[in-house]
Structures are given as C-alpha cells and as structure tokens.
C-alpha cells in the first residue's frame, strides 16, 4: 500500500472508488480530490483524478470506464467543475472516450514514462426534485 499511496489520500475531501469482481478482488481503482490544475486560471472548482488503474487481466472489458464514470458522477454531484489528470500517454485514448482533451506537450516521468495533462468540464448534476 505504501508504494501506491498518494499525498492527500486520507484527506476527507478525497474520494476513492474501486471496482470489485465477484470474489471481492479489487480490479479497478480511481481517486479524485479538489486540486487546482497546473495552469491559470481555472475559475470555479477544480478536481484532480489520480490512481486510475485496472488489473491487467480485466483491461478492455469496461471496468476502467465504470470507475471513471463513478469519478465523474461524484464531481457532478458536488457541483461539477474542471476535472484534470496527468495521463500516461498510452491511456490518452481511454480518457478521450470519456470526454477529456489533452493540454500542452507530453513530458517524461523517469519512473513511469511519458505523461500529458488531460482535462474536461463536468457539469453539475441537477438537484433531484
Ligand atoms: C488505462 C486503464 C485504466 C483503462 O482501463 P480499462 O479497464 O482497460 O478500461 P475500459 O475497459 O473501460 O476501456 C475502455 C476502452 O478504452 C480502450 N482502452 C483501454 N485502455 C487503452 C489504452 N491504454 N489505449 C487505448 N485504448 C484503451 C479499451 O479497449 C476500451 O475500448 P472499447 O470501448 O472499444 O472496448 C488501464 O488500461 C490501466 O490500468 N492501464 C495501466 C495504468 C494506467 O495507464 N493508468 C492510467 C494512468 S493515467
């Protein structure tokens, strides 16, 4: 756990989502918390997505999309705003399908490979009547 822990994981504003298979094995994860993006301005709330991953043996079966949809729904339920992440470049297409777009140039993280910023606006979910 210490190897994959991220700063802010225990903050009360950080939300963690996971997908479980029928044996209660965690097969997908994603976390989101309020955090300004690394550019100006971002008026309004901003949310950073981190820790998106699925187990290799379930990839391509919709679990990543399910976790990401839960993250987007969480943001929408808390008023929406700008959702952004540092995307590994091989995952750009995955995020694109969820409406995120790239911003700026890719850079190389020596530990985990090339990354690029991606983001989208999430509309607030209308209050239930
Ligand atoms: C990126 C990741 C989370 C996607 O999870 P997943 O469970 O495979 O996602 P889904 O099954 O919902 O994939 C949705 C679609 O995107 C496609 N897709 C998934 N990963 C892809 C990738 N790396 N490149 C291109 N397309 C991808 C799937 O084939 C699927 O296509 P389909 O709808 O035509 O079937 C997963 O591949 C992963 O954990 N990768 C390693 C860690 C990583 O890169 N995390 C992101 C860090 S920013």
Global model pTM greater than 0.95: no
CA-closest candidate to residue 53, choices 10, 12, 100, 85: 85
Residue 7 confidence (pLDDT): 85
Better pLDDT: 9 or 99: 99
Write the burial class of residue 84 (CB in 10 Å: 0-12 exposed, 13-18 middle, 19+ buried): buried
Residue 126 confidence (pLDDT): 82
Q: Which residues form ligand 1's pocket by a CB distance below 6 Å?
A: 52-54, 59-65, 85, 87-88, 90-91, 93-94, 97
Compute, in angstroms, the gap from residue 59 CA to the centroid of ligand 1: 6
Residues 6+ apart with CB under 8 A from 57: none
**Would you say 112 and 88 are in contact if contact means Cβ atoms under 8 Å apart?**
yes
- For the record, the structure tokens of 89 come out as 């470049």
């Amino acid at each position: 756990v210490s190897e994959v822990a991220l700063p802010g994981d225990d903050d009360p504003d950080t939300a963690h989502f996971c997908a479980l298979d029928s044996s209660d094995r965690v097969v997908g994860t994603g976390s989101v918390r309020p955090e300004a993006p690394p550019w100006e301005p971002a008026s309004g709330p901003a949310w950073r997505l981190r820790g998106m991953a699925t187990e290799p043996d379930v990839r391509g079966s919709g679990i990543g999309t399910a976790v990401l949809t839960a993250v987007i729904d969480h943001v929408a339920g808390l008023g929406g705003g700008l959702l952004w992440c540092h995307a590994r470049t091989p995952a750009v297409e995955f995020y694109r399908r969820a409406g995120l777009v790239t911003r700026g140039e890719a850079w190389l993280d020596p530990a985990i490979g090339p990354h690029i910023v991606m983001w989208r606006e999430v509309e607030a979910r209308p209050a239930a009547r």
